[in-house]
A = this chain, B = another copy of it.
């Protein structure tokens, strides 16, 4: 710091920063993300002088592009361009990405904004109806071929081990949090269009809709973060309406996690944590026995700093 040139804003170290939003909603048990440009891009725009902060800049861009106001927001990650601009002498461009949570709402007429199901971009991530067929039929064989294509046997082994762990192959258990690792593995194996596009060696890829530049990587980062976070912070409620049944809540969690949960135990967990309270009303227009309606206890968020230790920390 002391030795660094400090007045360099307009000279050699000037760069440009983009703000990118992974804006999530869950509607009728399906996770959606806000997209623009015909569902090929996330809402984004440059961080400009007029923006008072990174978040206000992000909010401005999202509202301008989609007409949708931003609620809960947290920062995800900052990427620098992966040298894909070609010219190494070109000034840097970095992307500062955010995760936002809302409810699906009216997208402004005439705006570019569009809610897209996130599993369109990651079909291998939805395990709610069991392991998707395309994993065994398409992904696994291609990954095996990629592993085999390495020269040395040790690299072949290492590649396959990595693939098996991240995708839960060879009887390993599926870990829903490894969204980014899976995407990056597929990218490395040139099995997704974005990678092939960069290399120019286009050919057989895995199913799933592509996005511009590294937006799909950013989306993977957002999904991974959200899947991890719902386990120790009550963020699901940002995605729920004011009143909901426990089954609706469960379906939302399952939509995000991409897997099912045990119904009775889910209720017990939610209730014993005192996260919700009954509204007194019952759900209408349903099949089966009507369910009680609940609302989120906002007070509890401030109360709890949340537990969740893993080390044997002594109490006294």
Tell me the A residues contacting B by CB distance below 8 Å.
Answer: 1-5, 8-10, 12-18, 36-37, 41-49, 51-54, 61, 64-65, 75, 77-78, 80, 82-83, 88-94, 96, 112, 161-162, 165-166, 173, 175-178, 181, 212, 230-232, 253, 257, 259-262, 265-266, 269, 302-303, 305, 308-315
Contacts and interface: CB of A to CB of B under 8 A. Distances in A.
A310 B313 contact: no
A161 B300 CA distance: 12
Contacts of A232: 310
A54 B78 contact: yes
A62 to B, nearest CB: 11
24 contacts: A1-B18, A1-B37, A1-B41, A1-B43, A1-B45, A2-B37, A4-B44, A4-B46, A8-B16, A9-B93, A13-B47, A13-B49, A14-B91, A17-B92, A47-B92, A47-B94, A53-B82, A161-B302, A165-B302, A175-B305, A253-B311, A260-B313, A261-B311, A265-B312
Contact of A15 (B9, B77, B257): B9
Given A13-B48, A261-B311, A312-B266, A302 B162 contact: yes
A174 B41 CA distance: 43
Contact of A17 (B2, B15, B88, B302): B15
Contact of A36 (B1, B88, B230, B303): B1
Contact of A49 (B12, B41, B65, B314): B12
Contacts of A48: 12-13
A216 B212 CA distance: 37
A230 B1 contact: no
Contacts of A253: 311
A49 B14 CA distance: 8
Nearest to A253: B311
A15 B12 contact: no
Given A13-B47, A14-B16, A260-B314, 18 more contacts: A3-B65, A5-B46, A8-B16, A9-B90, A10-B14, A12-B48, A12-B49, A17-B94, A54-B80, A78-B96, A162-B302, A166-B305, A173-B315, A175-B305, A177-B305, A231-B309, A260-B313, A261-B314
